[in-house]
Amino acid sequence: MLKVESLRISITDRCNFRCIYCMPLYGIDFLNKDEILTYEEILMVVKVMMKLGVNKFRITGGEPLVRKDITKLIRMISALDVQDLSLTTNGYLLGINENLAYELKKAGLKRINISLDTVDPFKFYQINRPQNLLKVKNNNYSFHKNYVNIVIKGIKNCLKAGFKNIKINTVLLKVLTVKDILDLINFAIENGLILRFIEFMDTTPLFDINLYVSYKEVLNDLQRYVKIEEYRDSKMGEGPAKYYKLTVNNDSCFIGFIYNTLDNCKECNRIRLTANGYIKICIYQEDGYYIRHILKSNKDSFQKELELENFIKDILLIKETGMINYSIFNKQRNYMFKLGG
Ligand code: SAM
Ligand code: SF4
């Protein structure tokens, strides 16, 4: 029987970017502050999950680093001695705040994934659409360049802080040329990073078939320029990715491809907690199971934990015994920034 092992915790739906595959530019109905789970409430969920055998936690969002006192949450979860504690970020604030990577490491963060779709400044600006972050009046080239360079600085700050096996997440889009991909590969090789190419997922209302490119097409294109060997190592990642060892001249790096297929569903051992307190057992599931009312009740923490445990136990069983009706879920489309990608 499948065992749910990992929980993705979205701590905010806010973000300082508006990536074209994740978040619309306008008309977003953001959560109010009082709708979002507090760190103490998140901690209670983590404790209960650990009792139920879930022991790997990833902090995500929206952009998790825009939430205040993120290091406090990392410290709180880390103190529970969890098997894995990681974070996915767009990296921007790691470049702006020189000490943040170090503080996260010190607080107990074990691993970090940083999203970077391209090292080309102008394409970065067009794809990731940073939101009025720099007070620059004119729309010139050096202004675009700043954004990607800040993310790159963020990645370097993580290396300096001592993070190992840093993964870079790149969403594959038609607008990226082989040169763009090779530039990313060279960047990964130079800095000892693991690159993961993610197919544009059709789980969001923003899915656009005209921007979609399959990983196989990209792999075929790459094979004309670099040596690629399939690589099987269970330690490379918890997700449904295919890994390859790639060699350019005498240097090499690992790349992974994460692709869209419902075949992965049978092996999917992760669930999600949204910032406003819904547990989702499938990326396609629209509503999920609401747990915030249990966390907010007037009962003492012992009773709350017990109630939560019984409730979550049943939710996990639905997933573990394969009782999910995927044909219903498949019709749902959720914005990634709301879901916690
Ligand atoms: N803001 C953080 C970041 O960008 O890394 C964390 C949240 S973001 C929703 C998590 C991951 O989801 C990112 O790596 C992003 O590239 C990926 N993502 C968002 N929308 C996607 C889509 N439609 N298809 C594939 N990956 C997507
Ligand atoms: Fe923000 Fe991450 Fe979504 Fe981009 S992918 S809009 S950085 S939450």
β pairing state of 241-248 and 251-258? antiparallel
Task: Starting from the CA of residue 124, give the closest ligand.
Answer: 2
State the virtual CA torsion across 119, 122, 124, 128 in degrees, nearest 10: 170
Does residue 264 register a pLDDT over 90?
Answer: no
The per-residue pLDDT for range 55-88, each reduced to its tens digit, is 999 999 999 999 999 999 999 999 998 999 999 9
SS3 content of the chain, % helix, strand, coil (to 5): 40, 20, 40
pLDDT in tens, 224-255: 999 999 887 655 555 567 889 998 888 888 89
pLDDT of res. 267? 78
Q: What is the mean pLDDT of residues 278-294?
A: 89
Q: With 60 as the cut, is the pLDDT of residue 33 above it?
A: yes
Strand (E) positions, 183-332?
194-199, 227-231, 241-248, 251-258, 270-273, 278-280, 289-290
Of all protein residues, the one whose alpha carbon is nearest to atom 9 of ligand 1 is 341
pLDDT band of 209, cuts 50, 70, 90: very high
**Closest ligand to 60 CA?**
1
Instruction: Write out pLDDT tens, residues 94-137.
Output: 999 999 999 999 999 999 999 999 999 999 999 999 986 554 45
- CA-nearest of 21, 337, 341, 15 to 171 is 21
Find the range with the poorest average confidence among 223-237, 279-293, 295-309, 321-335.
Answer: 321-335
3-state secondary structure of 170: strand
Report the nearest atom of ligand 2 relative to the CA of 128.
4
Gyration radius of the chain over CA positions = 20
pLDDT of the residue at 94: 97
Please tell me the predicted confidence (pLDDT) of residue 140.
58
The two three-digit tokens of residue 234, written as one number: 């269970």
Question: Which of ligand 2's atoms lies nearest the C-alpha of 60?
Answer: 8
Smallest-distance ligand from the CA of 17? 2
- pLDDT of 339 reads 85
pLDDT at 235: 57
Among 11, 15, 115, name the best residue to mutate to test ligand 1's pocket (greatest count of ligand atoms within 8 A of Cβ): 115
Residues with CB under 6 A from ligand 1: 15, 21-22, 60-61, 63, 88-90, 115, 169, 171, 198, 200-201, 204, 336-337, 341
Q: How far is the CA of 341 from the centre of ligand 1 (A)?
A: 5
> What's the pLDDT band for 322 if we cut at 50, 70, 90?
confident
